[in-house]
Structure 1
Amino acid sequence: MEALALRLSQLDSQVEGAIRVIMFYDTLMRRRVDLPALARASAGLAECVAGIRLHGTGRVIRMSPDGREASASPPPASSTTPITLDEEEIGTVWLERPGPPGSLDLDELLLDRLAIAAAAVVERYGPARTTMADPALVELAISADSDEAARARALRLLGFAADLPLHVVAVRSQLPLDQVGGLICPARPVKAAPLADVGVILATTVDQARFPAGGVRAGGVRAGIGAAESPDRSWREARTALRFSTPRQPVVHYDSLGALALLAQVPNDAARDNADVAAIARIADSPGELETLDTYCSTGSLRRAADLLHLHHSSVARRLEQTGKTLGIDLTEPTGLLRARLALTAWRLLND
C-alpha cells in the first residue's frame, strides 16, 4: 500500500493528499480508537474543529486541533456528512472550518472516512439498536458486587454515555419488556433484560404516565422506579418500590414511599407476629372485605371509597364497621386508620 501511495503521489498533489487521508483513517481503525480519539485525530488532520453526533443518545463530541474539547458555541458547520450503519443514519460528522474553505475535495473525503470510521466504532463498541440487552451486561451494571470500572464498561457497551442520567426500573409484566421500555422512554437510550422473576429496564428518562395501565393480571405492568444516581443502589430501591405496588397503584416511585420504605426492612418473622398483621391475614380470604379496607386506607374518605367501589357510602360504612371489629381497630379514628394501613402494607410485603 505504501509503495502504491508513493507512486500515485508523484502524479498529483491532490491524489497524494487523498491517499494520505485514506491511510490516516485506515491506521485509526486498525488501532480501534474510540469516538473522542477519532474526533481529536480528525481535528488535528483538518486543522479545525471536528464534531461527531449520535442521534440515538444525543451524544455530541467536538474537538479542536490542539486536542482539547471545543468549548465555544459551535458555529455553523462548514461541511457535514451522515454516519450510516446498516443503511440507517445513526449520526452526523462535521467540520467547523473558519474563514474561506480549504480543499473542498479533501474535506469531503476526510468526512467520508470519518463517518465510516465512526460507524465502525459504534458497531464495535456501541449497543445493538434493539431494546433487549444481554442479561449478563445488565446484571454487571446494577450489581452491588461490580467494581466501578466494570460497571462503567458494561454501561458503555449497553449504550449509556457517562454524562447521561440513568434510571433503573424493576418490572413484572405480561407484556414484552422491550415494548414496555419503548413506551416509557421513547426515542432515548433504553435497555431491558429479564433477571430471575423480575424484568430490569435501564432508561435515560422514565415517563411514569406511559406505563401500560391495568396491572399484570389485566395485561399491564407492575413497576418500581429507583431514585438513586448509582445504578446498584437504584436497583435495590426499584425492587423495594416494586414490592409496594398494588393493583390500585401498579407503578411506585421509591421517592414516594418516604418512611414507608422502612417496612421493607422489617424481618418477616417480626411482621407475622404482629397482632395487626395477623388480623389482616385472617380477613385475606374475603376479597370484598380486603378491597374495601384497602380502598378506604388509600383514600381516607368514606365517600371517596364508596365512589371507587361503586357502592353506597352506607354499605361501605357497614363493611368497615364489621372489618374494624374483626381487626380490633377503630377505623374511624386517625390512629386506627394508620394502624390498618401499616398492617395491610406489611401483610402485602410478606406475601410479595
Structure 2
Amino acid sequence: MEALAARLSQLDSQVEGAIRVVMFYDTLMRRRVDLPALARASASLAECVAGLRLHGTGRVIRFAPDGREAPAPPSPASTTTPITLDEEEIGTVWLERSGAPGSLDPVLLDRLAIAAAAVVERYGPARTTMADPALVELAISSDSDEAARARALRLLGFAADLPVRVVAVRSPLPLDRVGTLLCPSRPVKAAPLADVGIILATTVDQDRIPAGVRAGIGAAESPDRSWREARTALRFTTSRRPVLHYAGLGALALLAQVPEDAARDNADVAAMARVAGDPGDLETLETYCAAGSLRRAADLLHLHHSSVARRLEQIGKTLDLDLTDPTGLMRARLALTAWQLLND
C-alpha cells in the first residue's frame, strides 16, 4: 500500500493518476478495511491530513501522513466531499492541505467517500436519518413503559445518558433532509406519523430549520411528554411564526385543551370565521395582532397606515370589537388563535 502511494506521488499524467487512485481504493475495499484504516491510507496517499466524520454518531477520524492520529485542533479543510448512502448524506470526508488543493484531490475524496459508505453499510447498521415509524412511535408513546422506551431509543441509536428532544414538523421537504439540518453532527432520527413528521434529536438548532417548514419543539426531557408538547406547539405555528417552542407558549397552551365544540360555539370565534372568509382581512388582523401597533402593522403589510386603519375598522365591526381598545385587541387575539387551532 505504501509502495503504491509512493508511485502515485511521482505520476505526471493526471488521467493515469486518477485511474491509479481508483485502483488504490478498490484494493482497500477488497481488503475490507475499517474507517480508521481508510483515513490513514488516504492521508498517506494525499501527503496531508485526511479526515472523516459521520453525522449520525458525531464520530471524527483524522490521520496525518505519518500514519498517526492528527493533532487537534484541525486545520481548515482544503477540499470536502459528502458521504452518501441510499441517497442520504451520512457524513463528510476532507483533506487539510496547507497549500492549494492538488489536481487529484477531488478524485481521491470521491473514492474515499464511496469506500467510507461501503464500510458503514457493511459494518452498520447504517447511520441513516430515517427510522422505522413503529420504533419511533414506541419511543414517544405514553403507553410504553420505561424499559420498552429505553430499548427503542437504544435501537434508534441514542445513548442512555443523552437527552432526546422531540420536534413535530409539517414540511414540503423530505424529513431526512430536515432532520440532518436540525442536528447536523449529533444523533437524529425522523419518521412520518399520521399527517405529522416527527424528529428525535439530541440537540436542536432552530436557526437551521429551512423556510417553508413549520416546527413545534417540545421542552420536556421525557420523549413521550416532549412529543405531546411538540405537537401542541406545532398547532400554534403560522406563516409568520413557523417555529415555536412549547415553553414559549406559556398560558396560551391552555387554549389547545379547550373542547372544539366549546370553541366553535364562542361568539368571538364564530365571528372570526367570517373575517377569515376574506384572506386580505385575515392577513391584516394577523399582522396587527402580532405587531401590536397600527404603524408597525402598516410597515409589515407595505400599506399606508390610513389604509390599514380602515381595514381594521371594518374588521372590528365584523367582530363587534373595538380593536384599538386593549380588551378588544386581547379578545381578537384569543379568538384568532382559537380559530387557527380549529382549522389546524
For Structure 1 versus Structure 2, the TM-score category normalised by the shorter chain is 0.5 to 0.7
Between the two proteins, what is the percent identity of the paired residues?
82
- Cα deviation per residue 1:217-276 (whole Å; 9 max; x = unaligned)? xxx211111000000000000100010010111111101100000000000010011110
Q: Which residue of 2 aligns with 1:36?
A: none
Q: Any runs of at least 4 consecutive aligned residues in structure 1 with deviations exceeding 2 A, and if so which?
A: 54-59
Q: How far did residue 128 of structure 1 move?
A: 2.8
Q: Which residue of 1 aligns with 2:249?
A: 257
Measured in 1, the distance between the counterparts of 2:207 and 2:91 equals 30
Q: Is the 8 A contact 1:57 1:160 kept in 2?
A: no
Asked whether 1:287 is paired with 2:279, we answer yes
* 1:141-290 pair list within 5 angstroms: 141-213=139-211, 220-290=212-282
Q: How far did residue 283 of structure 1 move?
A: 1.4
Q: How far did residue 164 of structure 1 move?
A: 1.1
Asked whether 1:315 is paired with 2:301, we answer no
Q: Which residue of 2 aligns with 1:129?
A: 127
Q: How far did residue 56 of structure 1 move?
A: 4.6
Measured in 2, the distance between the counterparts of 1:139 and 1:56 equals 20
- Cα deviation per residue 1:114-163 (whole Å; 9 max; x = unaligned)? xxxxx99x957xx5311111111101100111111110011011110011
Could you list the runs of 5+ residues in structure 2 that have no partner in the other structure?
Answer: 1-53, 60-67, 70-84, 93-118
- The alignment covers a number of residue pairs equal to 240
Q: Which residue of 1 aligns with 2:57?
A: 57
* 1:14-25 pair list within 5 angstroms: none
Aligned partner of residue 192 in structure 1, secondary structure: strand
Could you list the runs of 5+ residues in structure 1 that have no partner in the other structure?
Answer: 1-53, 60-78, 81-85, 91-118, 214-219
Q: How far did residue 58 of structure 1 move?
A: 5.5
Measured in 1, the distance between the counterparts of 2:55 and 2:294 equals 52
Asked whether 1:344 is paired with 2:344, we answer no
2:133 alignment partner AA = P
Aligned partner of residue 276 in structure 1, secondary structure: helix
* 1:288-303 pair list within 5 angstroms: 288-303=280-295
TM-score, normalising length: structure 2: 0.65
- Relative to structure 1, the CA distance from residue 58 to residue 221 in structure 2 (aligned partners, 3 Å threshold; closer, same or farther) is closer
Aligned partner of residue 191 in structure 1, secondary structure: strand
2:300 alignment partner AA = L
Aligned partner of residue 249 in structure 2, secondary structure: helix
Measured in 2, the distance between the counterparts of 1:343 and 1:287 equals 16
- Relative to structure 1, the CA distance from residue 313 to residue 243 in structure 2 (aligned partners, 3 Å threshold; closer, same or farther) is same
Measured in 1, the distance between the counterparts of 2:192 and 2:252 equals 27
Bigger-Rg structure (1/2): 1
Measured in 2, the distance between the counterparts of 1:210 and 1:89 equals 17
Q: Is the 8 A contact 2:58 2:185 kept in 1?
A: no
Measured in 2, the distance between the counterparts of 1:323 and 1:301 equals 15
Measured in 2, the distance between the counterparts of 1:335 and 1:129 equals 53
Measured in 2, the distance between the counterparts of 1:288 and 1:266 equals 28
Measured in 2, the distance between the counterparts of 1:188 and 1:123 equals 19
